Amino acid sequence: MKVTRATFDEVMVPNYNPAGMVPVRGEGSRVWDQDGAEYIDFAGGIAVNVLGHCHPELVGVLQDQGSKLWHLSNVFTNEPAMRLAAKLTDATFADKVYFANSGAEANEAALKLARRFALDKHGEDKNQIIAFNKGFHGRTFFTVTVGGQAAYSDGFGPKPGAVDHCDYNDLAAFEALISDKTCAVMMEPLQGEGGIIPPDADFVRGVRELCDKHNALLIFDEVQSGVGRTGHLYAYMGLGVTPDILTTAKSLGGGFPIGAMLTTTEIAAHLKPGTHGSTYGGNPLACAVAEKALDIVNTPEVMEGVLKKEALFRELLEEINNKYHVFSEVRGKGMLLGCALSDDYQGRARDFLMASAEENLMCLIAGANVVRFAPSLIIPDEDIKEGLARFERAVARVVNAK
């Protein structure tokens, strides 16, 4: 059956508006479309393809596991899931792991666990969840309500209650909002969809201290910032603050769908049999691929390489900006970077995205005012240089069309 971009409009629900080109093959940081045109990938499937496309070791593990065991219900356990959980707990603060299929599902589990923990330990009045404006935690109704962007949660009827928001990096506003009725605080240690906004060190420490003061659990949503993206296996490791619950997905499977919630033994005990579950959570195929991805990423060579590649990105972006003056700053960490647009280009991030596509570069936006890059952690330096050469041509397109 011959399919084209027009087929999408005929058969797919119109909640997406994909690009005109249709990718059919990827290798490393390069992608080819139906017409054979080649693109450099700075998007990484929105911070997912942590080792690029079709990494040979991931392909090998997938093929090997695919000939053994594809799926079991959680009436049984399986070896890849247990091995992956053991490696995640060995590498982090956590003692216990719950597997899901996505970041939204991992966050849903984290929020349900926090509510159940508070109910069991403190009673039904301790149910408030605090999150931050511009935050993003997924598209389930619970997670999209906790996310701090009303545009995503409005229009679907009554929202889950006892969810409040304040501004990120505003410790005074947070302190005024938290109380002994707060059961959990959910935050990204580097806001992604909200504009690649890093946290102030004092803010993160203050949030942790206030959570401790009010017996509230601190949940770090590391769906986008985790698995090496900031040059640490998880971003919390570079902040000097440890959460009570951490969620991870996106890069965890290197492109294969998987999510996980990590926590301590004490907190995990409150998800007793029957309280929560997932048909596909802990799938052997997903866990086998994720185990290999974690093995590759969690090495000094890859982590150090991420920071070196960040420096190269920043150097070349500065050269571009010195010519065209389109960015107010480049923010973020590691291979999660955001180019914030200057005053003259406010609201035009999508113009840069579209111009990049015309120059055969795949990139992202984070809101209307930030161009976002989230490439493979092992993208070759020559692909960074060529990709940013294409990006410079895209910037020139936008500037000259103004």
- Going by the annotation, the residues of the binding site are 103-104, 136, 139, 221-224, 278-279
Beta strands, E only, 192-313: 217-221, 245-248, 259-263
Q: Length of the chain, please?
A: 402
Catalytic residue among 250, 292, 309, 333: 250
Question: What sign results for the dihedral spanned by CA atoms 34, 39, 43, 45?
Answer: positive
Q: What are phi and psi of 92, to 5 degrees?
A: -135, -175
Sheet holding 245-248, edge to edge: 96-100, 259-263, 245-248, 217-221, 182-187, 128-132, 163-166
Instruction: Please measure the distance between the N-terminal and C-terminal CA atoms of the chain and give it in whole angstroms.
Output: 42
Cβ atoms < 10 Å from Cβ of 58: 24
- Name residue 188's amino acid: E
Please indicate whether residue 343 is annotated as part of the active site. Answer: no
- 40 Cβ contact list (under 8 Å, min separation 6): 29, 30, 31, 360, 361, 362, 383, 386, 387, 390
CA angle 286, 290, 295 (to 5 degrees): 155
Annotated binding residues for pyridoxal 5'-phosphate: 103-104, 136, 221-224, 279
DSSP, collapsed to helix, strand or coil, labels residue 15 as: coil
Helix axes 381-401, 349-358, angle to 10 degrees: 120
Q: At a CB cut-off of 8 Å and minimum separation 6, what does 77 contact? A: 282
The single residue of 42, 126, 221, 383 carrying the catalytic annotation is: 221
Would residue 221 show up in a list of annotated catalytic residues for this protein? yes
Q: Are strands 327-333 and 336-341 parallel, antiparallel or unpaired?
A: antiparallel
Distance CA(157)–CA(308), nearest Å, equals 47
- Residue 274: how many CA atoms within 13 Å on its side-chain side? 0
Catalytic residue among 117, 136, 174, 220: 136
Known active-site residue 132: no
Query: How many Å apart are CA 336 and CA 252, to the nearest integer?
Result: 15
Q: Which residues are catalytic?
A: 136, 221, 250
